[in-house]
Amino acid sequence: MEAKRNRHPELARVSLENHTRMKILTISKLAMLVAGVLLISCTKMKNENNSKPTEDSVVVNMATAVDVKTSYAEVKGRNIAYRSLGSGTPLILCNRYRGILDTWDPAFLDAVAKDFNVITFDYTGFGLSTGTPPTDMATFARDVLDLMEALHVQKAVIGGWSFGGLVAQTLIARYPQKASHGLLIGTGPLGKNQTPIEPIFYERSSIVDNSLDDETVLFFEPEWAPSRDAAKISHDRIAQRKTDLDVPVPKELWINYHKGFADCTADKYGL
């Protein structure tokens, strides 16, 4: 079977050589794999923080991703909506394209929260956050810095999924003193991307209310049965949250992501 081109940085693939069957790592499995490596690499750092409390060792309640309450950080005239799980070294995750607090798989968040204080948030003006929505990568990344300041976090593991991975890389490159490690999920490098994007991604990502089938195409491998099964399981886990819900990103704000992508491609910051 001829290996297909990568659909998009949001679709993580592992291609087998000699035209053998292509197997796909789903976003959730890839996230768990990367997180596992991160946990190993950060063991010394975690132990040091546990033995000697610091400003960055945030301790929170034992809520799970399904029921943790949404909090708000008031900073510079706006409120940034966020959720905080677990305790230990802070790990801040940046949302994907059209992503909000509710679109992270709770199994992933709960697993990482066993060893880290996992913080998810909405960009300014998106979801439950207030303020003027950003249109360039530097301003998207500024949200992370402002949230860290509000939560009295001096340094953190900075992560992101897809579009959020670009935000995370921008912050790490511009403010390396703020990041101890990076966690990048289903994303690409800063600068011009030479990999063509398949039209089906644009088609499905432009649907206002994505179905399970859309999610399978966008984030998993629809031609591989185990990946389709994983998509359904992940979809059902995310749907378990019933209260204190976030709000979808309206279509009129999608252009802000596009401008962010363009800004990243132009690489005007020389990163």
Please report which confidence band the pLDDT of residue 56 belongs to, taking 50, 70 and 90 as the band edges: low
Q: Is the pLDDT of residue 8 over 60?
A: no
Is 251 exposed, middle or buried (CB count within 10 Å of its CB: 0-12, 13-18, 19+)? exposed
Please report which confidence band the pLDDT of residue 192 belongs to, taking 50, 70 and 90 as the band edges: confident
The pair phi, psi for residue 147, each rounded to 5°, is: -65, -40
The pair phi, psi for residue 187, each rounded to 5°, is: -130, -175
Report pTM.
Answer: 0.79
Our measurement of the distance from residue 177's CA atom to the centroid of its chain's CA atoms, rounded to an integer in Å, reads 21
- Round the average pLDDT of the chain to a whole number and report it: 83
Nearest to 96 by CA among 266, 251, 249, 262: 249
Q: What is the pLDDT of residues 75-129, one digit of tens each?
A: 999 999 999 999 999 999 999 999 999 999 999 999 999 999 999 999 999 999 9
Residues 259 and 136: beta-carbon distance below 8 Å? yes
Q: Find all residues with CB under 8 Å of 80, minimum gap 6, and list them.
A: 72, 73, 121, 122, 124, 129, 143, 146, 147, 150
Q: Find all residues with CB under 8 Å of 31, minimum gap 6, and list them.
A: 105, 108, 161, 185, 186
Which percentage of the chain shows pLDDT scores above 90?
69
